Structure formats: structure tokens, C-alpha cells
């Protein structure tokens, strides 16, 4: 229960699937449950009953939407674990049930619906129903998201060597990648075999393209096979996702991502002496792409110079090292300008 919740379960796509699934399950559940319940009053027959039913269900779904939007925002600042996700779902059930019980009790007092039940009775029965609906809908959406994520990972891994041919981009045109960037059927190039070719490539690119930033970043998978090569200035940040990392980079002016099977710790070691620095146990960021470094109540956060990119947190354990490198980077820029 203390295990870190996978990032894809907190993404907007999963939340949308959860909400849609909840709506479908709610409609199907009520069509079976309402005729058998003594406290449920939802009806689609009659003008008053129709508007009361649709209005109540719509507001309950709106509460769920607000809760999920809040979850998406909080995930950028707080790490969710399995137990915290369960508590969040329970809190959603409590809020929705309180809303339903209050509305039902008020309508009964106003004689708009038939019934004379106490608030406690309405709440206890309603909570069971809401929890059941949320468990079913969340289970379905989680299974669907896991299956989709696994398919995407397999697709990325199977076509990874083809996509890793992305090289430096200048004026919308790809420059040739300096060195082998993957494995083919006949040849497998490993990090050990390449040896010092990365430095040679950087020297060669400096001579060939003197007006652009020449450094090339080569990234390897867990087997030491070169999978991805890119100009350093085009690489924005890297985020850890379980045993994988997702690389966010600029491609022809658009933000793209590439998934690589390799621990973030190994990636960090390969980025030594570059402008890419670890700022969080789940993030590595390019110092040259930082637009704003701001202090919030929950700590420091980074805004990158690409509109729409996610804000990146700085954890306390990495803050000293990060600020040291960041200060040197800023001082170096000022010295160059002078």
C-alpha cells in the first residue's frame, strides 16, 4: 500500500476515462438498484422528477470532476501512493454521499419526493452505493489504463531504434546523427564498444556546425545499447516512470517524448558534465531551458521556456546541489554577455 502510484494513473487521460466509466456505471447501476431500493427516489418519468434526477446526478458527477482536476494539480507537488489514492477515492465517496443525503433529506422535507427517512439512514445506504460504483468504475478504468500503457511501452520499445534517429534540428531540418543510434538486425552497438565516440562526435560537430551548440547527448537502455541521440539544447527534461524514463525533447518546434527502459540513476550518471541536472528523485532538467525558478509554500518549482510544459518540482534532498549548478550556469551566462 505504500508503493508509489504509477504516473499514468494520475494523468489527465486516465481521469477522463474514470469519469466516463463512472457515468456509464451509474446509469446502469441505478436502472437495477432504484426499483429495489426504499430510499432511492431517482425517476425519469414526470417533469419534476426528471429535472431533479438529472440535476442531482449532474452535480454529483461535477463533484467527481472537481476532485479529479484537483488530483491532477496536486500530483505535480505531492507524490501519490497506493494508500493515498484509496483515501482520496474514499473522500470522494464521502463528499458525494453527503451531497446526495442533504439534497434527498431537503426534498423530502419539502414534499417534492415521497419518503420520510433520517439523514443517517440516507447517508449510510447512499455511502454503500457510491463506494460500490466508484470501486467498479475505478477498477475498470485502471485495468484499461494499465493495458493501454503496456501496449504503448511495447510499441515504443519495439520501434525505439527507428525513432532514435532524431538528431540535431536546425531551421526545421534534421542534421545527421553523429554516431550509431541503435541496434539493427545485423549489428548491436553497445556503450562499451562506442567508448570515446561521444566526445569525438562532439568535436566533429563543433567543427561542422560552429554556429550552433554542438554537444550531443547519447542515451542507452538497461542493456547498454544506444537508443537515443539528441542535441543537448533540445532535451528539456527527463521523468522517471517505474523502470522506464520518459525523455521530453524539442522536435521541429514541437514538444515530443520518447520512452526508454533504464533507471533514472543510470541516466543521471551518463549526463555528467552536461547542463542536465537531477532536481528531484523523479526528474532531471536542462538548466539552459529554465525560464523561471519560483518559490512556493511547498518548495521550489521550475517553469521551462516552452509554453505548456509541466512545472518541475525541486525536492529538498537535491536542492543544494541543484542550486549550486544553477548559480554557476547563471554566472556563466552573465560572464559571456559581459
- The DSSP-derived string for 100-121 is HHHHHHHHHHTTSSS----HHH
pLDDT one-digit tens code per residue, 79-93: 778 888 889 999 999
The architecture (CATH level 2) of 159-337 comes to Beta Barrel (2.40)
pLDDT one-digit tens code per residue, 280-333: 989 999 999 999 888 888 788 999 988 878 889 998 888 888 988 888 877 776
Cell for 88?
Answer: 482520496
Least confident piece of the model among 26-40, 105-119, 126-140, 285-299? 26-40
Chain-centre distance of CA 209, in angstroms? 36
Exposure string (b/e) for 46-69, b if CB count within 10 Å is 16 or more? eeeeeebbeebbeebeebbeebbe
Question: Which sequence spans correspond to the domains of the chain?
Answer: 7-157, 159-337
What's residue 187's pLDDT? 40
Beta pairing class for 299-304 and 312-314: antiparallel
pLDDT one-digit tens code per residue, 171-225: 333 434 433 333 333 344 444 444 444 444 444 334 444 444 458 888 888 778 8
* H helix intervals, the chain: 12-33, 47-74, 82-109, 119-158, 160-163, 191-194, 197-208, 264-270, 316-337
Record the pTM: 0.48
Amino acid at each position: 500500500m505504500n508503493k508509489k502510484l504509477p504516473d499514468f494513473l494520475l494523468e489527465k487521460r486516465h481521469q477522463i476515462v474514470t469519469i466516463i466509466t463512472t457515468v456509464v456505471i451509474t446509469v446502469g447501476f441505478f436502472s437495477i438498484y432504484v426499483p429495489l431500493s426504499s430510499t432511492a427516489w431517482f425517476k425519469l418519468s414526470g417533469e419534476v422528477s426528471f429535472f431533479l434526477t438529472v440535476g442531482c446526478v449532474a452535480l454529483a458527477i461535477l463533484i467527481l470532476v472537481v476532485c479529479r482536476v484537483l488530483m491532477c494539480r496536486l500530483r505535480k507537488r505531492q507524490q501519490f501512493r497506493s494508500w493515498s489514492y484509496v483515501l482520496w477515492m474514499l473522500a470522494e465517496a464521502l463528499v458525494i454521499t453527503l451531497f446526495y443525503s442533504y439534497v434527498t433529506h431537503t426534498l423530502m422535507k419539502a414534499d417534492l419526493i415521497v419518503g420520510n427517512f433520517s439523514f443517517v439512514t440516507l447517508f449510510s445506504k447512499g455511502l454503500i452505493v457510491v463506494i460500490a460504483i466508484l470501486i467498479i468504475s475505478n477498477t475498470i478504468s485502471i485495468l484499461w489504463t494499465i493495458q493501454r500503457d503496456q501496449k504503448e511501452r511495447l510499441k515504443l520499445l519495439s520501434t525505439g531504434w527507428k525513432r532514435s534517429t532524431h538528431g540535431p534540428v536546425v531551421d526545421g531540418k534534421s542534421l545527421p546523427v553523429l554516431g550509431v543510434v541503435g541496434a539493427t538486425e545485423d549489428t548491436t552497438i553497445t556503450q562499451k564498444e562506442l567508448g570515446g565516440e561521444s566526445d569525438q562526435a562532439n568535436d566533429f560537430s563543433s567543427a561542422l556546425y560552429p554556429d550552433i551548440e554542438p554537444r550531443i547527448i547519447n542515451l542507452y537502455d538497461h542493456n547498454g545499447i544506444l537508443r537515443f541521440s539528441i542535441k543537448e539544447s533540445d532535451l528539456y527534461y527527463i521523468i522517471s516512470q517505474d523502470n522506464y524514463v520518459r525523455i521530453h525533447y524539442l522536435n521541429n518546434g514541437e514538444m515530443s517524448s520518447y520512452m526508454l527502459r533504464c533507471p533514472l540513476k543510470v541516466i543521471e550518471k551518463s549526463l555528467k558534465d552536461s547542463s542536465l541536472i537531477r532536481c528531484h528523485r523523479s526528474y532531471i532538467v536542462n538548466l539552459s531551458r529554465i525560464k523561471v525558478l519560483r518559490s512556493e509554500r511547498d518548495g521550489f518549482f521550475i517553469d521551462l521556456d516552452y509554453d505548456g510544459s509541466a512545472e518541475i518540482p525541486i525536492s529538498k534532498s537535491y536542492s543544494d546541489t541543484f542550486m549550486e549548478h544553477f548559480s554557476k550556469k547563471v554566472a556563466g551566462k552573465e560572464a559571456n554577455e559581459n
